[in-house]
Structure 1
Amino acid sequence: MAGIKDVAACAGVSISTVSYVMSGKRSIKEETKRKVLKAAKELGYMPSRTQELRHRGPTKVLALSSPLHEYTDYSNYAVFFFALAMRAKRYGYDLLLLMHEYGDQELTRVAAEGMVDGILLLDVLMCDARADVARALDVPVVAVGYPSNSDAVYSVDLDFERMGREAMEKAYALGHRHVLVAGADSSAYEDGSNYLVRFLDAAKKKGDDLGISVILKPSTGNGRDDVNLMLDETFLENPAISMIICQTNAVHVANVLNGLQDRGLRVPDDVSVMAACTHGLGSLPRGVDEMPMMPTETCSRAVDLMMEVLNGDRDDVGRVEMLSSRYIARGTMAKCSRS
């Protein structure tokens, strides 16, 4: 069986570098880390602690890598976490929560030390470093989200691109030709947050095909003053806006409705409002048409898929499963009355 010296020789690094990569105790250059992990996988090397733990059988623990960012919406975060935890519990599994902003080193550590049987990814980016790290791990990785570099992970997600196209098709059918997307924090788009970017890009492309002008206004905050400033800027730039799609949260959406009312604009008679990629809007005093996140369905399927892999029932890593979204009508969409 290969040892740490063999891995070091194969990767062209020192034994201490291999040790640091496997333990995650020291920051190592990404290129060096990948060489070490590739060599370890090719040679079938595991640290002695990992071998010992593997012989003991399953840990009955899944790691949940869910980085916290400045723009993280904690209400959505909690819903997804508990949906995964409850489904894992049905199989007798506990979750080990990993919350570092960049969690690729954590994945290497928990896998190398034999702490978990598999890894779940939340808050997935379009190009996610954790999906690259998965190539060198000896435990399965299931992403609740769809990274573009998905060949080494299993992915389960809502079809946000289809959601974006359907939102534009509905807008077109109702005669809307000028649409505002009230977005999340700009950093979420800059980082490449999977669901936000996929929806927005698909909506813009479909909008272009249909002759609909789609503009994005990222959120600068959820408060009433922040939302009023956004609305002021929007109607100044394009007074013909007749439909707003909110990619935000319940507080922000409520303040959009209040802000429109303050301007004497009736919903949906003057301006139609829809929410997309959201959760929990049914609790608002006034309901809003919504194409929501489906955390229970998505997370349940991700854990079920993980169990299929751990049970040896499938070996098609790289598989992407897309769940269909749904539309909930609550009376805030109507035919465009503005020329």
Structure 2
Amino acid sequence: MVGIKDVAGKAGVSISTVSYVMSGKRPISPATRRRVLAAAREIGYVPAPGEHAARATRTHFVALSSPVHDSTSYTNYFAYFLHFLRQARFHGYETLLLTEENGGEQLARLIDTGLVDGVVLMDVNMDDSRLAVAAATGVPFMSIGLPGADTGIPCVDIDFTLMGGGIIDRLDRLGHSRIMFIGGKHVDYERDGGANYLVRLRSALLDNARRRNIRVDEQYTDEDDFDAIETILDMAMLNGDTAIVSQGSPMFLNSLVAVARKNGIRFPADLSVISAGTCTDPIGRRLRIDEYPLLPADLCRMGVDMIVRLMDGEPWRGDRVTLIPPVYQRRGSLGAPREPETRSATTPGPASLAATAPPWNTRRAGSLEASPPPAPTAANSRSATTPQAHPYDPTTTMRSSNDNKGADDDLFQP
């Protein structure tokens, strides 16, 4: 096992110098500090968790590493950043925001300069390159977001596994047997193992649906592509999906409601909708969409409190992973599935709509990142036959948000 003596030999310094670099007990020149940290990373030295002491010289800067990608939801991003900034200010710290996609290299360079007293990781992927940097440094680290591997650094997050179970439990109790899951872009589920909260929520939702014998049709699309959203709604209604679970952004939800209104689809009379794992306020309240939201204020408060304690030299005695329960906000968009109706030959219905609409895969090539829904099997459907198409009346309009006044919030109880 690599120890502090090996780092000293590699860097050409004394053991006490390595100790001072790792603990921050005494000031060390920037050049020596960079040499020691580079040696530690090269040979794989990992300081023991919780051994950081309060640094002798404070900069009162904390780094927030949160990479920005082409697919980043700015609504979610800025909600977390502003809550973090406010909480750090409360504790007397300024925030240095790091946004490089390859955050590991940028983070290593910053730590070597000694400009920050601690680092918080955000927007954490399952296989995140920044975790290797966190493991081999003398600077306190914590993560808002749960990575796929146990890195030894403290983490705080929402329990997305519990959230996925809560969604399926509610839909099952209402009687839904076939639902549609709408995710964002495929890359968000694939880059470095996928964004941890997207992957965990989707996995929990599919696992719980399989156990309840609920069929899930999956679609992935751009946030605000009206053509793609209209196509997905057509597919949901014609395939017999009676509920939609969305991991889309507030922009996507706004477009979804607009397209539904245009086509006369009422929530929840014709189709139930629930949003999960995004920041929708105040849009969510205005649209009256049930949701399990992200909780940036709570997570950033806990994360900053945690990193401040570590920067003050307090050993971490709590659980390495802290998961907070998801909060369900009821706004009236979930209901029992609508029973099939008998229609006259002159009444518009799914068949007539399907006859006039273009095929699902001819609209806006490239905007819909999906494949046609799989044929039902015994493993993923309640029956081996395709469920009857779910009718809707295009002459009706979506119910007013006033119909849902008095909707309350509650915690999901497993």
Instruction: Using structure 2 for the length normalisation, give the TM-score.
Output: 0.69
- In 2, the alpha carbon distance for the partners of 1:258 and 1:187 equals 26
Match of 1:64 in 2: 64
| One-letter amino acid matched to 1:322 | L
| One-letter amino acid matched to 1:205 | D
Match of 1:92 in 2: 92
**Matches for 1:259-270 after TM superposition, within 5 Å:** 259-270=259-270
Change (3 A) 1:183 1:40: closer
Tell which deviates more after alignment, 312-321 or 291-300.
Answer: 312-321
Match of 2:44 in 1: 38
> Structure 1 stretches of 5 or more lacking a match?
11-18, 24-31, 43-53
The answer (yes or no) to whether the contact 1:268–1:334 under 8 Å persists in 2 is yes
Superimposed CA distance per residue, residues 214-270 of structure 1 (whole angstroms, 9 cap, x where no aligned partner): 22211224132231133234445xx11000111112221122223233333221011
Instruction: Using structure 1 for the length normalisation, give the TM-score.
Output: 0.83
- In 2, the alpha carbon distance for the partners of 1:287 and 1:249 equals 15
Superimposed CA distance per residue, residues 21-48 of structure 1 (whole angstroms, 9 cap, x where no aligned partner): 948xxxxxxxx98751625969xxxxxx
- In 1, the alpha carbon distance for the partners of 2:330 and 2:85 equals 30
Match of 1:212 in 2: 214
Match of 2:325 in 1: 324
TM-superposed deviation, 1:132: 2.2
The answer (yes or no) to whether the contact 1:64–1:95 under 8 Å persists in 2 is yes
Superimposed CA distance per residue, residues 184-219 of structure 1 (whole angstroms, 9 cap, x where no aligned partner): 111101121011111000000000000111222112
User: Which structure shows the higher helix fraction?
Assistant: 1
1:279 aligns with 2:279: yes
Change (3 A) 1:235 1:268: closer
The answer (yes or no) to whether the contact 1:7–1:36 under 8 Å persists in 2 is no
Runs of 4+ in 1 over 6 A off after TM superposition: 1-5
**Matches for 1:6-21 after TM superposition, within 5 Å:** 6-7=9-10
Which structure has the larger Rg? 2
- In 2, the alpha carbon distance for the partners of 1:73 and 1:260 equals 23
Match of 2:173 in 1: 173
Q: Any idea what SS the aligned residue of 2:172 has?
A: helix
**RMSD across aligned positions (CA):** 2.7
> Structure 2 stretches of 5 or more lacking a match?
14-30, 49-54, 341-414
TM-superposed deviation, 1:136: 0.3
Change (3 A) 1:79 1:37: farther
Identity %: 29
The answer (yes or no) to whether the contact 2:246–2:276 under 8 Å persists in 1 is yes
Change (3 A) 1:170 1:89: same
- In 1, the alpha carbon distance for the partners of 2:40 and 2:237 equals 50
- In 2, the alpha carbon distance for the partners of 1:331 and 1:184 equals 24
Match of 1:197 in 2: 199
Tell which deviates more after alignment, 1-10 or 270-279.
Answer: 1-10
1:296 aligns with 2:297: yes
TM-superposed deviation, 1:8: 5.6
| One-letter amino acid matched to 1:36 | E
Q: Any idea what SS the aligned residue of 2:220 has?
A: strand
- The number of equivalent residue pairs is 308
